[in-house]
Structure 1
Amino acid sequence: MAAAILAADAQAARESSPTLSPEAQKEIVQVEAEIDRIESQTLARLQSEPDNQVQQVELLGKSILFDKQLSVNRNEACAFCHMPETGFTGPVSELNRTTGSYPGSVRTRFSERKPQTHSYAPLSPVLHYNRAAGDLVGGNFWDMRATGRRLGNPAAEQAEGPPTNPVEMGLPDAACFVYRASQRPYRAMFEKVWGPQAFAIAWPRDVEQVCARPGPAPAGDPAPVHLSALDRGRASATFDQMAMSIAGYEASAEVTAFSSKFDAVVTGKAQFTPQEKAGYDLFRGKAQCNACHRDGGPGEDPLFTDFTASNIGTPANPRLPYLRENRPDALGYVANPLGESFVDRGVGAFLVQGHPLSNPSAVDARWRPLAPDNMARVQTPTLRNVDKRPYPGFVKAYGHNGYFTSLKEIVHFYNTRDVLARCKPHDPGEGTTCWPAPESTANMNTSHSGRLGLSDAEEDAIVAFMGTLSDGYVAAKQR
C-alpha cells in the first residue's frame, strides 16, 4: 500500500509542471504576506533595539533577510526561498511539487536548483581541501561556491550570491543592494553597528533607474552604478557587512536552534518511539546514512552532514523551468543557453569556471586540478529540519534539483537505485519499480547507496527517525 501511494504521488508530480500555476500563485501571495508580517514585527523591534551588539547584528540580518525592497522589482526578499515554517528552505508546496526550483524577482526566471536550508549553514567550515581524505570540505551552496575564504564565513558569502543573480533577486550591481538598504528603516542601526561611513556614498543621479533594470549588467558595463573608486570601495565593504549581518542572524538560536526531538532524546528529555529508534539504528547501521550525514562524534555537534560533496545519481528533473529558459525572455536575457541538454556539473563546474549566474567567491586556481574528481558532485545537505513543514500535507522537494518530492521517495532511491530497472519514458512505475538514469554518472557514489537491502518497513522507520530532526519540538509534560 505504501509503495502504491508513493507511486501515485510521484507520478502526479511529474505529470504536472506548470511554471506558475494558479495554486502556486495563491501560495506565493500567502508567503509574501507572511514575509511582510515578519518584517513588520522585526522593524518594530528597532524602536527598542537591543544594547548587545551581537543581538543588533542579528536584528539587522533578519531585517535584511525579510526585506522585499532589496530585489530589483521590490517583490522578493531573501526569505522567499528560506522561511521558518519549512526549516528555512522553500515555503511553497506547489512549487516544491511541480517545479522544484523557485522564481526570482523577475517571476518568469527560475533557478536551476532547489533552495538549500539556511538553518545550520553558518556552521559549515571555510572550504578547504582534506588531502588525506581527498575531499573538499565546507562552503555553502550545492556547488560549494560560497567558499568563505575571503570573509572567513561561507554563510556570509552565500548571502552575496542571490542579490545579483539574474534568476533570483536580479539586481544589476551589488551597489544597488547597498543603495536600497540606505533608504530602509534599519539604516541608523546599521551605521551604529558598522560605522557612519557605511552609506556615505555619492550616488549618481540615475541610480534609481539603473537599479530598477533587471540584471545581468551589460557586457560592456559590469558595474552600471557608476561610482568613484572610493565610493565603490565603501559600497563593497557595506555589501560585505550586510552579508555578515545575514550570516549573524542565520547563526542565531532563532535559525540554528538545536531544538529537535533528537536533541531532547540526546539530553535525556524525551524518548524515541520504537519506530524512530529502529530508524536511528538503521541510519547508523544497515542503511549507512551517517557515513555522510554524520550524527556527531567526539567534539562534534550532530549536524547530520560531513560538509563534503557526493553524486548519489539523482535523475534529472524534467520539471525544472530552467530547462526551458533557452530563449531570450521579454528583457532579452537567456538564462540557460543549453536548454534541456543542461547537465548540472556541481562542484566540478565551479572549480573550472565558477557559476554561470552567480559566483560570490573567487575560484582558487590551485584547486582546478580537482575538478574532474568533483564533476556532478554536490554538497551533502544537513538533515536537520529535513521534514519540517507547516502542515502534514505540505510537499517538500529533495535533491539538488528537487527531483524527489517526499522523504519516502528519496530513501527508496538510496535503497534501490542499483536494483530496480531503468524507466522507460512516462513509465508509471517511476520512483517505485524503476528509476530514470542518473543526470550524470560522473564520480557516482556506489559505496553507501544503491543496493541497501532495506524492507519497506525499514524505509518507513528511517523516514520516521528523520522526522525527529525538526526544530521546535516541545516535550510532553510528565503527569
Structure 2
Amino acid sequence: MRASWRLILAAGASLILSACGGGGGGAPSGSSSSTSQSVGLTATAALGEKIFKDPSLSLNGNQSCASCHVADRGHAGPFSADPAHATETGSDGVSLGGRVAPSIRYLVFNNVPFGIDSEGTAAGGFFWDGRAATLAEQGKGPFLNPKEMANADVATVIAKLAAATYANEFKALYGQAVFNDPQAAFEKVALALQAYQKESPEFTPFSSKYDAFLRGQASLSASELRGLALFNTRDSETDPSKNKGNCVACHPSAIGKDGSFPLFTDFSYDALGVPRNWKVATNPAQFDLGLCDNGTDTINALNASTKAALCGKFKVPSLRNVGLRKAFFHNGRFTSLTDVVTFYVQRDINPDQFYLDAHNQPDVKFNDLPPAYRGNVNTTEGPYNRGPGDNPALSPAEIADVVSFLCTLTDGWAGSDLACQR
C-alpha cells in the first residue's frame, strides 16, 4: 500500500544521509558518529540557534522553541509533571496544546514534499498532519499559534526580534533595514531555524546503542535481540500464525544499501484509531481529523471521497529516542512504551480496555473519530488483523522484549543503559 512512497523516500533519505555522514559513515565498520565531529555552524545557523532558544519571542517572554523541543528529550516535548495535562501549556499560561510536541530530531532527512500518490497514499511534509512543506515552514507555526508562543501577528514577532540582544547580528547578516519589512524578516527567521536544524550535529547524532550495534561497537542483550527480531518480523501471507510485530512495515530498521543508517520512519501516514484522550479533548463534539484537515492546497483539491478517506491519519514518527518521551501518539493518550505496544497488539482483541469515555467507562471503539471515518482505521495489517477471541500477536514477555529493543534507540549511549520510559 505504501510501496511507491517508500521507494521515493528511501532513495531521497539515503542521498542526504550519505552526504551528511549517515550516522557514522555507513556499514558497521567502527566509524564514528556525527557527534564526535567538530562541526562549525554558518552565521545563518548560529543565528537560528539563538532564535530557537529565545523565550522573549513569545507572548509573555516565557516560551521558546526549545521549551517544547528539549534536547535531553530527543528534542521532543518535556511534558508537565501535572497528570491533568497531556500536552504543554502555552505562553499565556492557560492554553494547552492540542497535540503532543513531536521530536524534531532527524527531520533534515525528510526531504520529500508532502504529496499523495496514485493509490491515494500520503507521505512527506512536517507536523503531525503534514501541513508544512519544509522545515522552514514548520518553524513559523509556533510563533503565531495561540496555544503556543501566541504572538498576535508577524509584526509582533519581528518587533520582539528587533529588541533582542542579537538583533544587530540579524541586521549584519540581512541588512540594516531588515526589520522594516516584517514578513520578509519572518521568512529569514524561518530559514535561520531551518539552517540550525540542518547543520547542528545535535539534531542528527546517530549515537544510540543500536547505532553502535550496527557499527559492530556494541552487543545487544538477549532481550534486546529478541525484541529486534519481533520488531522486524513482517506479516506472513502463507502462515499468519507466525505474524508478530510487523513494526518494520512503517519503521524501517536496517542499514540502507548505501550504508545510511535507519530513521525508523517511512514518513507515511496511518489511521491507528488511537483512543480519545480526555485530558486534551474536553469538547465531545470536536475531533482532531489529522491529515484530511491540514488545510494544504493538495488536500483541499481532492474530491470529497478521497479526502474523507484520509481522515484520522497522522504522520508515522521516527522511533529514535522514543524511550525519552513521556506521552505517545499525536494526542498523548499513552504514557509508557509498554502501554503503546500493548495497544497495538490488543486493540482489536480487547477494545474495552482502551476506549473509555470521560467518566472512565467503556466507550465505542475508535472513539476519537466521528462514526463516518472509523472505517479508515487500519485493521488489515498486522498486528491489528485480529479480533475478540484471537491470541494477540505478542505475549506480555514479547512486548517486554520489543520495549527493550526500543530503549536501545536513545541517543547518547556511552556503554551503559540509559533511562527509558518503559
- TM (norm. structure 1) is 0.68
Aligned to 1:83: 70
1:66 aligns with 2:53: yes
Answer yes or no: is the 8 Å Cα contact 2:68–2:78 preserved in 1. yes
Within 2, Cα distance between the matches of 1:419 and 1:473?
37
Secondary structure of 1:167's partner? coil
The unaligned stretches of length 5 or more in structure 2 are 1-37, 234-243, 387-391, 417-422
Secondary structure of 1:259's partner? coil
Secondary structure of 1:170's partner? coil
Cα–Cα, structure 1 residues 301 and 368, in superposed 2: closer, same or farther, change >3 Å?
Answer: farther
Answer yes or no: is the 8 Å Cα contact 1:130–1:136 preserved in 2. yes
1:290 aligns with 2:248: yes
1:60 positional shift: 1.4
1:313 positional shift: 1.0
**Aligned counterparts, 1:257-296, within 5 A:** 257-285=205-233, 286-296=244-254
Aligned-partner residue type, residue 162 of structure 1: P
Aligned to 1:255: 203
1:166 positional shift: 0.9
Within 2, Cα distance between the matches of 1:70 and 1:248?
19
Answer yes or no: is the 8 Å Cα contact 1:420–1:435 preserved in 2. no
Task: After superposition, give the CA deviation of every residue in 1:349-399 in whole Å (9 maximum; x if it has no partner).
Answer: 12xxx2xxxxxx66564346542121010001110111126xxxxxx0001
**Aligned counterparts, 1:225-264, within 5 A:** 234-251=181-198, 252-264=200-212
Within 2, Cα distance between the matches of 1:165 and 1:122?
23
Aligned-partner residue type, residue 348 of structure 1: C
Match 1:381 to one of 295, 317, 320: 317
Aligned to 1:345: 289
Task: After superposition, give the CA deviation of every residue in 1:175-215 in whole Å (9 maximum; x if it has no partner).
Answer: 2212211111222222333343422x1xxxxxxxxxxxxxx
Aligned to 1:335: none
Secondary structure of 1:342's partner? coil
1:442 positional shift: 4.2
**Aligned counterparts, 1:38-437, within 5 A:** 54-95=41-82, 97-147=83-133, 154-199=134-179, 201=180, 234-251=181-198, 252-285=200-233, 286-296=244-254, 297-299=256-258, 301-320=261-280, 323-324=281-282, 339-350=283-294, 354=295, 365-367=300-302, 370-388=306-324, 396-423=326-353, 437=366
Within 1, Cα distance between the matches of 2:261 and 2:361?
40
Within 2, Cα distance between the matches of 1:403 and 1:141?
18
Within 1, Cα distance between the matches of 2:352 and 2:341?
18
1:448 aligns with 2:382: yes
Answer yes or no: is the 8 Å Cα contact 2:80–2:86 preserved in 1. no
Cα–Cα, structure 1 residues 51 and 274, in superposed 2: closer, same or farther, change >3 Å?
Answer: closer
Secondary structure of 2:42's partner? helix
Answer yes or no: is the 8 Å Cα contact 1:82–1:88 preserved in 2. yes
Aligned to 1:20: none
Within 1, Cα distance between the matches of 2:303 and 2:98?
23
Cα–Cα, structure 1 residues 51 and 86, in superposed 2: closer, same or farther, change >3 Å?
Answer: closer
1:261 positional shift: 1.0
Aligned-partner residue type, residue 188 of structure 2: Q
Aligned to 1:439: 368
Task: After superposition, give the CA deviation of every residue in 1:137-156 in whole Å (9 maximum; x if it has no partner).
Answer: 11111111112xxxxxx221
1:426 positional shift: 7.9
Secondary structure of 2:45's partner? helix
RMSD of aligned residue pairs (Cα, Å): 2.6
Task: After superposition, give the CA deviation of every residue in 1:388-433 in whole Å (9 maximum; x if it has no partner).
Answer: 26xxxxxx00011000010000100001101114256589898xxx
Q: Tell me the number of residue pairs that the alignment of Structure 1 and Structure 2 aligns.
A: 352
Secondary structure of 1:94's partner? coil
Task: After superposition, give the CA deviation of every residue in 1:62-121 in whole Å (9 maximum; x if it has no partner).
Answer: 2111111101111111222111111111113525x4321111111111121111111112
Within 2, Cα distance between the matches of 1:107 and 1:77?
14
Secondary structure of 1:341's partner? coil
The percentage of aligned residue pairs carrying the same residue is: 33
Within 2, Cα distance between the matches of 1:193 and 1:159?
19
Cα–Cα, structure 1 residues 377 and 410, in superposed 2: closer, same or farther, change >3 Å?
Answer: same
Within 2, Cα distance between the matches of 1:435 and 1:404?
18
Cα–Cα, structure 1 residues 187 and 364, in superposed 2: closer, same or farther, change >3 Å?
Answer: farther
Cα–Cα, structure 1 residues 193 and 263, in superposed 2: closer, same or farther, change >3 Å?
Answer: farther
Aligned-partner residue type, residue 409 of structure 1: D
Secondary structure of 2:394's partner? coil
Within 2, Cα distance between the matches of 1:178 and 1:445?
44
Aligned-partner residue type, residue 195 of structure 2: G
Secondary structure of 1:270's partner? coil
Within 2, Cα distance between the matches of 1:301 and 1:307?
15
Answer yes or no: is the 8 Å Cα contact 1:82–1:90 preserved in 2. yes
Aligned to 1:330: none
Within 1, Cα distance between the matches of 2:334 and 2:111?
27
Cα–Cα, structure 1 residues 51 and 465, in superposed 2: closer, same or farther, change >3 Å?
Answer: closer
Secondary structure of 2:207's partner? coil
